[in-house]
Amino acid sequence: MLQEQKSEFTKQTILNESFKLFYKNGFKTTSVDTIMKTTKLTKGAFYHHYKNKKELGLAVISLKLQERVFKGMIEPLQQPGNVVNILENTFSERLKSFSLHDKKHGCPTNNFINEIGDFETAYQMALKQIIDNWRDALILLLERGKTEGSIKQNISSASVAVYLISAFEGVRGIRKLYDTDVILDEYMSGLSIYLQQIKH
- Residue 183 sits in the same domain as residue 144: yes
- Residue 81 sits in the same domain as residue 141: yes
- Residue 68 sits in the same domain as residue 46: no
Backbone angles phi, psi at 131, to 5 degrees: -65, -40
Q: Is residue 56 part of a domain?
A: no
Confidence check: pLDDT of 7 > 90:
no
- Residue 32 sits in the same domain as residue 115: no
Write down the pLDDT at residue 44. Answer: 86
User: Which amino acid does the sequence have at 186?
Assistant: E
- Residue 40 sits in the same domain as residue 118: no
User: Which amino acid does the sequence have at 104?
Assistant: K
CATH code of the domain in which 102 resides: 1.10.357.10
Question: Which tens digit of pLDDT belongs to each residue from 114-124?
Answer: 999 888 899 99
Question: Which tens digit of pLDDT belongs to each residue from 129-157?
Answer: 999 999 999 999 999 999 999 999 999 99
- Helices and strands, counts by H and E, the chain: 11, 0
For the chain, the domain total comes to: 2
**Mean pLDDT, rounded, for 167-172:** 97
User: How would DSSP label each residue in 96-124?
Assistant: HH--HHHHHH--HHHHHHHHHTTT-HHHH
- Residue 91 sits in the same domain as residue 9: no
Q: Is residue 80 part of a domain?
A: yes
Percent of the chain at pLDDT above 90?
Answer: 86
CA 112-114-120 angle, 5° bins = 70
pTM, rounded to two decimals:
0.92
3-state DSSP assignment of residue 187: helix
- Residue 156 sits in the same domain as residue 73: yes
- Residue 89 sits in the same domain as residue 7: no
- Residue 78 sits in the same domain as residue 30: no
Determine the structural domain holding residue 43 and report its residue range.
1-50
CATH code of the domain in which 28 resides: 1.10.10
- Residue 76 sits in the same domain as residue 110: yes
Q: Give the list of residues 6+ apart from residue 164 with CB closer than 8 angstroms, or none.
A: 87, 91, 138
User: How would DSSP label each residue in 38-85?
Assistant: HHT--HHHHHHH-SSHHHHHHHIIIIIIHHHHIIIIIGGGGSSS-HHH
Q: How far apart are CA 8 and CA 138, in angstroms?
A: 34
- Residue 86 sits in the same domain as residue 138: yes
3-state DSSP assignment of residue 141: helix
- Residue 151 sits in the same domain as residue 83: yes
**Within the chain, what is the greatest distance between any pair of CA atoms?**
59
